[in-house]
């Protein structure tokens, strides 16, 4: 089984050690996951285009900006200018503008990702999945770190994998929420290509980022073996 790409959730990192941790991650990650929240779509405020601009001064790995905002179209230009490589918008904010929003993101030279809340079904977004580089399935409710995993989402991951195969599509399947040693096996077996790791999967493993990363890798390798020989 192919090893998954890793996307550290930067809202979970120790921001007092930002440069140290970004330099450590930079040749190891598939993406940096940057959560941008507006206090309206979700009841929290986190990172921003300014944060992306500052990280871009250090990072070379691509930044994927997860827009948990009511008006995603307002962020496209600022994030492109800041250096984002991908914008992932929520399906729940795109009704009536999804195709226009996708075109706008691509016209700004970025890749396009789609994020689905746990309640949002595949058939609600099927008409534009062929335009996606990545689909992120939320396995917790959006807005806050450290929430419990929703096991019903494993079937949803399988549905997206099957749809991708049946329609010969290329989007990656990414998981956002409670990716850790308790869930790696099930997520990889269901079809996950990219794992967003935050507090429980990476940063709380150890205060030393080298050790924390090594523990995470061991946990993922064990999960891969369990899936392979199940």
**Residues in the chain, overall count:** 230
Query: Which of helix, strand or coil describes residue 164?
Result: helix
Residue 22's contacts (CB-CB under 8 Å, 6 or more residues apart) are: 32, 55, 58, 59
Provide the CATH number for the domain around residue 11.
3.20.20.70
pTM: 0.96
The one-digit pLDDT tens for each residue of the chain (230 residues) are: 889 999 999 999 999 999 999 999 999 999 999 999 998 888 888 999 999 999 999 999 999 999 999 999 999 999 999 999 999 999 999 999 999 999 999 999 999 999 999 999 999 999 999 999 999 999 999 877 778 999 999 999 999 999 999 999 999 999 999 999 999 999 999 999 999 999 999 999 999 999 999 999 999 999 999 999 87
Q: Domain limits at 181?
A: 5-228
Q: Is 39 annotated as a binding residue?
A: no
Q: Is 145 annotated as a binding residue?
A: yes
As annotated, the active-site residues are: 35, 176
Q: Is 218 annotated as a binding residue?
A: no
Measured between alpha carbons, how far is residue 156 from residues 51, 120, 163 in Å? 32, 10, 11
Q: How many domains does the chain have?
A: 1
Q: Is 143 annotated as a binding residue?
A: yes
Token representation of residue 121: 């079904």
């Amino acid at each position: 089984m192919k090893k998954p790409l890793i996307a550290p959730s930067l809202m979970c990192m120790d921001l007092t050690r930002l440069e140290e941790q970004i330099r450590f991650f930079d040749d190891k990650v598939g993406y940096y996951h940057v959560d941008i929240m507006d206090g309206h779509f979700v009841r929290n405020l986190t990172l921003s285009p300014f944060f992306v601009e500052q990280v871009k001064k250090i990072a070379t790995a691509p930044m994927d900006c997860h827009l948990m905002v009511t008006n995603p179209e307002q962020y496209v230009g600022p994030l492109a200018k800041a250096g984002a490589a991908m914008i992932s918008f929520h399906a729940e904010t795109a009704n009536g503008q999804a195709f226009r929003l996708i075109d706008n993101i691509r016209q700004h030279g970025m890749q396009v990702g789609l994020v689905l809340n746990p309640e949002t079904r595949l058939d609600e977004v099927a008409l534009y999945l062929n335009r996606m580089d990545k689909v992120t399935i939320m396995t917790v409710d959006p807005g806050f770190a450290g929430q419990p995993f929703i096991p019903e989402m494993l079937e949803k991951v399988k549905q997206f994998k099957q749809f991708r195969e049946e329609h010969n599509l290329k989007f990656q399947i990414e998981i956002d929420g409670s990716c850790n040693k308790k869930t790696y096996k099930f997520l990889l077996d269901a079809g996950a290509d990219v794992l967003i790791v935050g507090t429980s999967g990476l940063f709380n493993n150890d205060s030393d980022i080298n050790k924390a990363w090594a523990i995470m890798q061991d946990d993922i390798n064990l999960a891969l073996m369990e899936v392979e020989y199940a």
